[in-house]
Amino acid sequence: MTFKEFIYSRIESFGHAFRGWWYVLQTQHNAWIHAVVAMLVFIVAFWLKLPARDWAILILTITMVFTAEFVNTAIEAVVDLASPQKHPLAKVGKDVGAAAVLIAALAAVLIGLLILGPPLWEKLSSWFVE
């Protein structure tokens, strides 16, 4: 493989990835919910002037939720392809994928509360107690 072929194949790989990303955003309503919540978390974190370490944890947590959602969408597509008719094992595959997203989202809520909760409480309570 020449260097030029290598570069073109990497560009093509990015194209596949962006098409997958777009597919998830077009077809998965929960991905939009995740996106809105992520933006709210970023806005609050910016307002609270969180340190870089907290930002890193929030970014990793948000990424974990999106990754679970993307993998779940891939599982659902492959299960639908392999088993167009209803099958108990197809349901298990889809349910387990959905459970992974739920676990990631619940963990993200807990992490968000641990990181954003104390400084948010401090900032908001200072408005009402003086």
Please answer whether residues 75 and 94 qualify as being in contact, where contact means their C-beta atoms are separated by less than 8 angstroms: yes
Please give the full DSSP string across 71-88, using - where no structure is assigned.
Answer: HHHHHHHHHHHH-SS--H
Active-site residue (options: 5, 69, 76, 130) = 69
HEC secondary structure over 8-26: HHHHHHHHHHHHHHHHHHH
For residue 69, indicate whether it is catalytic.
Answer: yes
Tracing tokens 């392999």 back to the chain, one arrives at 82
Which amino acids are annotated catalytic? 69
